[in-house]
Amino acid sequence: MTHTPALEVSHLVRTFRRPDGRVVTAVDNVSFTLEHDETLGLVGESGCGKSTLARTLMQLPPPTSGSVMISGQDLASLSPSARRELRRKLQMVFQDPISSLNPRRRIADVVAEPLAIWGNGNAEKNRTRIADTLAEVGFDPEVVWSRRPHEMSGGQCQRVAIARALMLEPTVMVLDEPVSALDVSVQAQILNLLLDIKSRRSLSMIFISHDLAVIRNICDRVAVMYLGKIVEIGRTEDVYRNPQHPYTQALLGSVLAPGQKLPDEEVLSGDLPSLLNPPSGCRFRTRCTRATERCASEPPQLRASEEAHLAACHHPLGFADIERRQSV
């Protein structure tokens, strides 16, 4: 029997044309799979293309080239009606919980909106289903039914956004920094909620975050993005304990433990290069201490350093490098 992942992304590219005619490639030849009941973390600096990748998966906007396959079906190859039907299986929760909700609508109507769009009736017609979903994300439906978003906290609004995403019973959820705008205590509540929902509904998730501790705690695998490309991907503990790409090492080195002093030298120097004029060869070479002439002339490809652990680097880190870094 052929194995079919929950989501398969192949050679995905998303470009944007500026008013001056120049083209920006925000997502460049990205490929990965998401298994059933798996959570894949996506990390990287601001501007590396994480959110653009998430929106491209949702076809908002559609990719310039490449394919997005849900349960073995390529969205681009389907008719508009079939594509619309399949997209029900792929839902997204956005970063800002308040601005993603219509401030003029009742919470019940916000949660019912996906059903209304599909012609399945309004909030009153689907009262039981909406109440069950609101209860699933931790609400008393009778209390919040007629409230509006401005009457709720940021964490409560994010629960509403999660409930709305669940209404069409997706198989894959894309979560774009879903806890970054929330207080730390509320973050923990939302993360525990997501883990419970994933287990209960057998969901697959793509979780985008700047918080490496969050990624480590909830993700089965992690992919590291730099300037539109995935530079390392593997099981979370493998990547954290034995990073192969210098950029991954720099990201992990920037996280301070409680009581730890600030490093004497910058962990990662320089700014992210412009996507209008990315460096030749390896895009990280302008900030990498291991760069050679080969890095300037030949783009590195993702290669396996060990089982299910891939890195795009001509001079990947070894265990000696990791032990040296941990001893400093």
The pLDDT of residue 326 is 45
As a three-state string, the secondary structure of 262-325 is CCCCCCCCCCCCCCCCCCCCCCCHHHCCCCCHHHHHCCCCCEEEECCEEECCCCCCCHHHHHHH
Q: Are strands 7-17 and 65-70 parallel, antiparallel or unpaired?
A: antiparallel
Q: If the chain, 328 residues long, is cut into consecutive pieces of 10 residues, what is the mean pLDDT of each piece?
A: 85 95 94 96 92 93 93 89 90 88 93 88 84 95 94 93 95 93 87 94 94 92 96 96 93 76 67 87 92 94 86 81 44
- Whether residue 70 is found in the same domain as residue 128: yes
185 and 271 belong to one structural domain: no
Residue 266 lies in a domain: yes
Backbone angles phi, psi at 205, to 5 degrees: -135, 145
Determine the pLDDT at residue 255: 77
Domain assignment of residue 255, yes or no: yes
The pLDDT score that the predictor gives to residue 319 is 46
Residue 56 lies in a domain: yes
Spell out the residues 6+ positions from residue 156 whose beta carbon is closer than 8 angstroms to its own.
139, 144
pLDDT of residue 320: 42
Q: What's the token pair of residue 85?
A: 């039907």
Determine the Cα–Cα distance for residues 291 and 285; give it in Å rounded to an integer: 5
Alpha carbon distances (Å) from 210 to 19, 127, 215: 31, 37, 8
Interatomic CA distance for residues 13 and 178, integer angstroms: 24
d(CA 127, CA 160): 15
**Rounded Cα distance, 28 and 65, in Å:** 10
Measured distance CA(12)–CA(223) in Å, rounded: 15
In a domain, residue 230? The reply is no
Give me the domain span that covers residue 98.
7-219
Supply the CATH number for residue 175's domain: 3.40.50.300
Query: Final residue of a domain: which of 219, 252, 271?
Result: 219
Burial of residue 81 (number of CB atoms within 10 Å: 0-12, 13-18, 19+): exposed
Residue matched to tokens 């059903």 = 115
CA distance 27 to 155: 30
Do 159 and 270 belong together in one domain? Answer: no
pLDDT score for 46: 87
**Would you give the end-to-end CA distance of the chain in angstroms?**
49
